[in-house]
Amino acid sequence: MRLNLKLISNKDYKTIIPKKQQLCTQMYKRDSPLLLWYFKRLSVVSGQRCDCTEHDMPKDRTISRLRGEMHRLQEQMRKSEATKQPQKQAAKPSQPAIFVITPTYARLVQKAELTRLSQTFLHVPQLHWIVVEDSPHKTPLVTDLLVKSGLTYTHLHMPTTKDHKLQEGDPSWLKPRGVEQRNEGLRWLREDRRAQPGGDNQQGVVYFADDDNTYSLQIFEEMRSTQRVSVWPVGLVGGMKYERPVVEGGKVVRFHTGWRPTRPFPIDMAGFAVSLKLVLANPDACFDREAPIGFLESSFLKGLVTMDELEPKADNCSKVLVWHTRTEKPKMKQEEAMRSQGLGSDPAVEV
Amino acid sequence: MPKRRDIVAIVLIVLPWTLLITVWHQSTITPLLATRKGTDDRRDGRSNSRNTFAFKESCSLQNRDIVEVVRTEYVYSRPPPWSDVLPTIHVITPTYSRPVQKAELTRLANTLLHVPNLHWILVEDSQRRTTLVSHLLQETGLNYTHLNVETPRNYKVRGDTRDPRIPRGTIQRNLALRWLRETFSPNSSQSGVVYFADDDNTYSLELFEEMRSTKKVSVWPVAFVGGLRYESPKVNTLGKVYGWKTVFDPHRPFAIDMAGFAVNIRLILSKPQAYFKLRGVKGGYQESSLLKELVTLSDLEPKAANCTKVLVWHTRTEKPVLVNEGKKGFTDSNVEI
């Protein structure tokens, strides 16, 4: 007895093209009633109803009637699948993705900073974390952390050139930091997104998040609706409790800041987000590492948008949802003393 | 032969259903698990390549390092639903008002929202509960208890400085311990662990799972304390703590940071006199003042792979420079930071 049937799983059901097979009842003449019961219920077999002109046995007639019912049910199923599918496809791109670009560099508190940052990001749906290390190669610390984080991520690296690197003892404001890394993040993003379907019309938001700041979960929901560039207040920056854009009539008219308010965009890196469309439409917009201190954000934004085009978020820029916190450098007095005696802590233990 | 045919029929019936069930199981329940498997495979692959190619990462990975984790269908519920099986972790956090307070509590809350069966006991150093903290706690959705007690000010010194002889946070932690003792009776079958978490430290999620199985007092290493990369208990081959790997006074009864130990709640409830000593405590002896009332060195349970992994970091946040505020305050004081 040859069983000419094809078992397909539910997954393949949508893609398979039903083959028109002449299934004859004669094949099942000697089969068990169990098989027939099975075929009646599992509507995976497709085929044409035999017209039973050749055999004309009462059993065959029953079988062909049952098969006809089965085909009818199959058609019904196919129709309902067809209506379900477009709904499913529409539900998928429900929220624009947020691409967070974080430059990072190796120091004692790096693992702690990235750990708590990843714990915040894990709450945000549709977030793609782009981590760019200031290093000639990817470090195992960051690699393992990203793998264990459970986030969608991209791991890149770009070393800062020596003349632009801060030396030991330099104050943090002496040279702009993270410039090459953010530009590398932008470059990767442009390259990756161009290859995606949708081209330059893709939905998404790009945000530059430093690894030592503190982000509330609301800021990500605020920035998701960015059409061009959106802005909001940042706490504990610019020598003040917070810096913010001043909004009148729903538009940004000036910036409330205590330090060099005449800058084109006197706003911190954590205080704005750019829509993906704008980033893709301006492939040359990047951060200028020769920009004077405090003008880094302006060097990027001035090519993208004007002040009146800015979209104020966070309740017309009246709420602080992100803070420019900085972490102290841990005191290693005893560690250094021990190391000089050759009794330093085990370097294999990752901190 | 009818018998063989029937067997074939039964197999044909059972086989596709099992296939269908496994397919449905994979697609509906936690794609996160599937992605974790995927990421594990990738991690193994990468570690293998690292062993064979010395320290160079293969260049082909450079632009292809995207882990396309499919998380679009995963609905993250925060906090995780309460389980009747897991012991509760009572996290006691003293806090005080300063510019970075809201930021610290926000990111601590973001961490705690991942931990199942967590009860956050936040004790403010203030005369009355502030709206800042009350709103923050309500918005997080965490299971919390909001207490407050003010550290007595040192009236001899001009200004609003608190009494420097009392270590910071002591009174607040003691209040939380008292609250626990008043709320839970020693005879109840409550299973739980008490942990003292300061609001500026950094905690990995693994730490909370390590401490959940504490029977008496468990200990683990803490990074960036005592002027070292990390301080840790010394554990012998039998898995018992016999000393402390610290430079700063290793002969303290318990040379450990506040973030380096957790206590089973039954132990707290069964010893109602055990509190942190308020006065006359030498620097670094505060933890010992509580622990010596509760447990001996040999009873300590080492966690974090026999105290070889660092799962908590004693980070400290810089005090923000607010020079541009001036004397009168430049920014609107109604805006909460």
pLDDT given for residue A54 in this prediction? 52
Chain B residues touching A143 at Cβ < 8 A = 46
In whole angstroms, what is the distance from residue B210 CA to residue B91 CA?
14
Q: Shortest CB distance from A214 goes to which of B46, B106, B230?
A: B106
- Cα–Cα distance between B292 and B271 in angstroms, integer? 12
Say whether A137 and B104 touch across the interface (CB within 8 A). no
User: Residue A38: which pLDDT band, with cuts at 50, 70 and 90?
Assistant: low
What integer pLDDT is reported at residue B101 of this predicted model?
95
C-alpha of B15 from chain center: 46
pLDDT at position A203 over 60: yes
Q: How confident is the model at residue A334 (pLDDT cuts 50, 70, 90)?
A: confident
CA-wise closest residue to A209 among A88, A118, A75, A327: A118
Kindly name the residue from B209, B287, B318, B325 that is annotated as catalytic: B287
CB B26 within 8 A of CB A54: no
Residues A24, A21: Cα–Cα separation, whole Å? 9
The full length of chain A comes to: 351
Say how far apart CA A280 and CA A190 lie, in whole Å.
6
**DSSP conformational letter for A118:** H
For chains A and B, what is the number of CB pairs under 8 angstroms?
Answer: 221
Instruction: Tell me: is residue A161 an annotated ligand-binding position.
Output: no
Nearest CA in chain A to B79: A123
Strand, helix or coil for residue A340: helix
CA-to-CA separations, B148 to B84, B129, B168, B199, B230, in angstroms, rounded: 29, 6, 14, 15, 32
Residue of B287, B168, B314, B300 lying closest to B228 (CA atoms): B314
A144 is in an annotated binding site: no
Does the beta-carbon distance from B247 to A334 stay under 8 Å? Answer: yes
Token digits of residue A327: 């972490």
In this structure, are strands A234-235 and A97-104 parallel, antiparallel, or unpaired? unpaired
- Residue B100's CB: how many other CB atoms inside 10 A? 20
Provide the pLDDT for residue A202.
Answer: 81
Instruction: Name which of B291, B285, B278, B223 is nearest B250 in CA terms.
Output: B285
A191, B63: Cβ pair inside 8 Å? yes
Identity of the residue in B43, B229, B330 whose CB atom sits nearest the CB atom of A335: B229
Does B204 sit within 8 Å of A241, measured CB to CB? no
User: Which residues from chain B sit within 8 angstroms of residue A328, using beta carbons?
Assistant: 315-318
Residue A206 and residue A305 in contact, taking contact as beta carbons nearer than 8 Å = no
Mean pLDDT for chain B? 81
Residue numbers of B between 110 and 129 with CB closer than 8 Å to A: 110-111, 113-114
Tokens of residue A313, six digits: 């978020």
A172: tokens are 């943090």
Residue B115 near residue B79, CB atoms below 8 Å? yes
Residue pLDDT, tens place only, A1-12: 454 444 444 444
Categorize the per-residue pLDDT at A94 as very low, low, confident or very high, splitting at 50, 70 and 90: confident
Mean pLDDT for all residues in chain A: 80
Query: Are the beta carbons of B335 and A240 separated by less than 8 Å?
Result: no
Cβ contact B320:B99 at 8 Å: yes
- Can you give the pLDDT at residue B64? 41
Identify from B77, B224, B312 which residue to disrupt to test chain A contact, counting A C-beta atoms within 10 A and taking the largest count.
B224
CB contact under 8 A, A323 and B100: yes
B139 catalytically annotated? no
List the single range of A98-107, A197-206, A254-263 with lowest mean pLDDT. Answer: A197-206
The larger pLDDT score, comparing residue A61 to residue B132, is at B132
- pLDDT above 70 covers a percentage of chain B that reads 80
Q: Report the DSSP beta bridge partners of residue A133.
A: A104, A157
CA distances from B288 to B259, B275, B291, B297 (A): 13, 10, 5, 11
Which pLDDT score is estimated for A56? Answer: 54
Question: Which residues face A206 on adjacent strands?
Answer: A99, A274
Mean pLDDT check: name the lowest of A133-147, A217-231, B151-165, B250-264. Answer: B151-165
Tell if the CB–CB gap between A125 and B50 is shorter than 8 Å: no
Which residue does chain B place closest to A41, by CA atoms?
B13
Q: What per-residue confidence (pLDDT) applies to A259?
A: 83
Q: By the 8 A CB rule, do B20 and A10 touch?
A: yes
pLDDT-derived band at B335 (thresholds 50, 70, 90) equals: confident
| B51–chain A Cβ distance below 8 A for any pair | no
pLDDT digits (tens, 9 = 90+) for A226-276: 999 999 999 998 888 899 999 999 999 999 988 888 899 999 999 999 999
Residues ≥6 apart with Cβ < 8 Å to A206? A99, A101, A186, A189, A273, A274, A275, A276, A279
pTM for the whole structure:
0.74
Q: Is the pLDDT of residue A29 over 50?
A: no
Contact of B45 with chain A, judged by CB distance below 8 Å, is answered with no
pLDDT of residue A109: 93
Q: Does B325 touch chain A (CB under 8 A)?
A: yes
* Among B55, B63, B325, beta carbon nearest to A241: B325
Q: Does B238 touch chain A (CB under 8 A)?
A: no
Which residues make Cβ contacts (< 8 Å) with residue B52, sequence separation at least 6?
none
Rounded distance, CA A188 to CA A146, Å? 18
* Contact list, B103 vs chain A (CB under 8 Å): 214, 235-236, 323, 325
Residue A90 has pLDDT above 50, yes or no: no
From residue B262, alpha-carbon distances to B88, B213, B215, B256, B257 in Å are 12, 10, 10, 11, 11
Give the separation between CA A65 and CA A59, rounded to whole angstroms: 10
CB B231 within 8 A of CB B244: yes
| Amino acid at position B129, single letter | R
In whole angstroms, give the CA distance from residue B2 to residue B6.
6
pLDDT band of B155, cuts 50, 70, 90: low
Q: Tell me, what's the pLDDT at B325?
A: 75
Asked if A152 lies within 8 A of B71 by C-beta distance, the reply is: yes
The whole-number average pLDDT for the span A155-171 is 82
Q: Does B6 lie at the interface with A, CB-CB under 8 angstroms?
A: yes
Q: Is A135 helix (H, G, I), strand (E, B) or coil?
A: coil
Model confidence band, residue B234 (pLDDT cutoffs 50, 70, 90):
very high
